[in-house]
Amino acid sequence: MEYISTRGNVEARGFIDTVLMGLADDGGLMVPVQIPQISAETLAEWRGLSFQELFLEIFSYYTNDEIPYDDLKKMVNTSYANFRAPEVAPLHKVNDSLYVLELFHGPTFAFKDVALQFMGELYSYIAKVRGEIIHILGATSGDTGAAAIAGVRGKEGIKICILHPHNKVSKVQELQMTTVDDANVLNLSVNGTFDDCQQAIKELFADLDFKGRYHLRAINSINFVRILAQTVYYFHAYLQLPADIGKINISVPSGNFGNIFSGYLAQRMGLPIGKLIIATNENNILERFVLTGEYKPGNFVGTHSPSMDIQVASNFERYLYYLLGEDAVKLSAYMSLLKTDGKITVEGELLDQVQKDFGALGVKNQQCLDIIGKYEQEYGYLLDPHTACGIAAYEACSTPEDITVTFATAHPAKFDESIALTGIQQEFPEPISRLFSLPQHMTVVENDLEQIVGELKAFF
């Protein structure tokens, strides 16, 4: 298996070199030269595997044996040893047509733990076997930062800097990042939006001299290994359902298109997914793209689901590459158009294909709260606001005959500001309650690349 850039100007790389590159050197995103096909027979053989065993099976198609099996197995087992659920991601039946895959049983109570606990182990392994210096640089709308820091804090040979938008993440998300006092962790709180943080990251990775001199590595979903690790739980969800289930729909809260693209990859690999449903909030660029074919960033809106308060979905480029028939020239032309005109439009057969691939719903703030109240009252099941958006999208885009799995992307305690608006009082898990008594460690900076670079140089 080799990996190439969506924009076609990077020499094919192996698995580890792809991990280390993160954002492709030509500004594109790395993708596999071909997507492995999983037969129905193989899928049946995987039924009954543990999450860890399934992870090893799927990764074996992508790693080219660059990591000895025993080393990979040790990393996987270490990554998921501290999850609170033995299944890693248990499947909860809500009613006859709806299941919820709980992805919040990792150390930071969010779905990002599933990929980032492994990425922390992987980067640590690469640092040791290759003698590499690993300086991780990432941006977060809330959950990636905490999960990334939890994955690498205190690890030898690794430093991590995370940018987050100042006062635009939940208090628990902020505390999970900023109460970490390890010497290898730097939190920069940027006076701006997540899109501003993400743009700074992209500019720094695009500066190949700076990237090389400071050994920058990516932990955001621009890194293909994040996408691949998330693909595992799509297979895991399906394989927990009855063997005769047929095709299922999957509703995914998604702001940056990474999680939903993992589902698209799983579907392309052969997982029987009927429709992937994109759940967004009032920052609804993805819903507008699916409904109209226009991809155009709009005005930022603060919502009850802040991890999806995103206008520029960085993983959208990967999907567009496949939509355009894996034509890097066409893809590059579209991305140039986005830069010059501020939008991309697809029409005709391309739009028809988009609407075959996805359903979508941009959930309004009050609708999100109403769903939280409804499911707590009717089923005794408390949803975080992002999962509530996923449930609202399930209700809008599925029929009663469909079987739909909605991803629960975070524990509700991470977003008590939103839950409290419904009148529901919840009890915090002890690890989250403890955060409020700890001192914080972060540096507030302006949305200014020069100032951010200065902080990075001093840290690295």
> What amino acid positions are annotated as catalytic residues?
112
User: Using alpha carbons only, how large is the chain's radius of gyration in Å?
Assistant: 20
- Give yes or no for a contact between 219 and 144, defined as CB atoms under 8 angstroms apart: yes
Two tokens, residue 210:
């700076």
**Phi and psi angles of residue 318, each rounded to the nearest 5 degrees, phi first:** -65, -45
C-alpha distance from residue 100 to each of 83, 96, 403 (Å): 18, 12, 11
- HSE on the CB side for 119, CA within 13 Å? 32
**Phi and psi angles of residue 248, each rounded to the nearest 5 degrees, phi first:** -125, 155
Q: Exposed/middle/buried for 326, CB within 10 Å: 0-12, 13-18, 19+? A: middle
Give the contacts of 366 (CB within 8 A, at least 6 positions apart).
none
Which residue do the tokens 């109209």 mark?
Answer: 292
Q: What angle do CA 317, 267, 234 make, to 5 degrees?
A: 100
- HSE on the CB side for 328, CA within 13 Å? 15
**Angstrom distance (rounded) from CA 96 to CA 120:** 38
23: which DSSP letter?
B
Pairing of strands 30-32, 3-5: antiparallel
Q: Give me the long-range contacts of 431-436 (CB less than 8 A, separation at least 24).
A: 431/107, 431/109, 432/109, 432/172, 435/172, 435/175, 435/176, 435/179, 436/175
Closest CA to 163 of 154, 171, 174: 174
Closest CA to 239 of 27, 441, 89, 449: 89
Helices marked H in 254-408 — which ranges?
Answer: 258-269, 285-292, 316-323, 328-341, 348-357, 365-379, 385-397
Give the contacts of 246 (CB within 8 A, at least 6 positions apart).
272, 403
Pairing of strands 273-280, 30-32: unpaired
